[in-house]
Amino acid sequence: MRHLHTDLEQVLVSQEAIQGRVSELALQISSDYQEAERLLVIGVLKGAFIFAADLTRQLSIPHVVDFMALTSYGRSTSSGEVRIVMDLREPIENEHVLLVEDIVDSGQTMRYLDRLLKDRNPASVRTCVMVKKHGDRLKLPIDYVGFDIADVWVVGYGLDYADRHRTLPYIAELKPEVYRKLV
C-alpha cells in the first residue's frame, strides 16, 4: 500500500475485503433473522462505531441501533478490566439482540457483555465481531466473524491504539516497537 503511516507494519485486511465481508455478514444476518419482528443491534463504543454503521446500513430486515460505551484500564492494551461508561437507553427485555464488537482478543470483554445482556432477559443474544485473534484464550463461540487474524496489534476500521488510527479504511498491523512503547 502506498503512503503507509510509519507506525504501521502492513495492511492485513484491505478496504475492499472489508466491504465485501460486511456485505456477506449483512446478508447472512438478514436471512437468519427473517422471522424476528425486529433486531436490536448493539454497537460497543468506541471501537465498533464504523463496523456497526456499515453493517446496519446493509441489513434488509427491520432493526434498531443502540450503543454501549466501555472503557478498559490501560491506554492501549486489552487489559481485561472493563467498565461501562454509557449504558443502553432502553430495556432489552424480549428483544433479539445482536452485539457488535470490533475485535475479540482474550474474549473477556465479549464474555462480560454477553452475560450482562443475558441477565436483562432478552429474547436472544448473538455476537458479531469484525476480527477475531487466533489467541482468544476463552474460545468463545462468536456467531458472526468477519476475519480471523494472527495475534498482533491491529488498528483501523474502528480499532485504535491509544485512540490513534481508528478511521483508517483498512485494518493494519501496528509495528511491534510502537506497541511496546505504549504498554
Contact residues: Mg ion, CB under 5 A: 47
Catalytic residue among 102, 105, 136, 160: 105
Q: Does 43 bind ligand IMP (CB under 6 A)?
A: no
Residue 146: closest CA among 64, 52, 79, 82: 52
Residue 38 CB, nearest approach to ligand IMP (Å) = 26
Instruction: Choose the one of Mg ion, ligand IMP, none that binds residue 39, judging by a C-beta under 5 to 8 angstroms depending on kind.
Output: none
According to the binding rule CB under 6 A, does residue 108 interact with ligand IMP? yes
Q: Which does 48 bind (CB under 5 to 8 A by kind): Mg ion, ligand IMP, none?
A: none
| Residue 18 interacting partner from Mg ion, ligand IMP, none (CB closer than 5 to 8 Å by kind) | none
Minimum gap (Å) between residue 69 Cβ and ligand IMP:
11
What is the radius of gyration, based on Cα positions, of the chain?
Answer: 16
User: Rounded to an integer, what distance in angstroms lies between the CA atom of residue 180 and that of residue 42?
Assistant: 32
Which residues does 104 contact at the CB level (< 8 Å), separation at least 6?
110, 129, 131, 132, 133, 136, 140, 142
User: Catalytic site residue 105?
Assistant: yes
Q: How far is the CB of 68 from ligand IMP (least distance, A)?
A: 12
- Chain residues in the site for ligand IMP (CB under 6 A): 47, 72, 78, 80, 101-109, 153-155, 159-160
Query: Which residues are tagged catalytic?
Result: 105
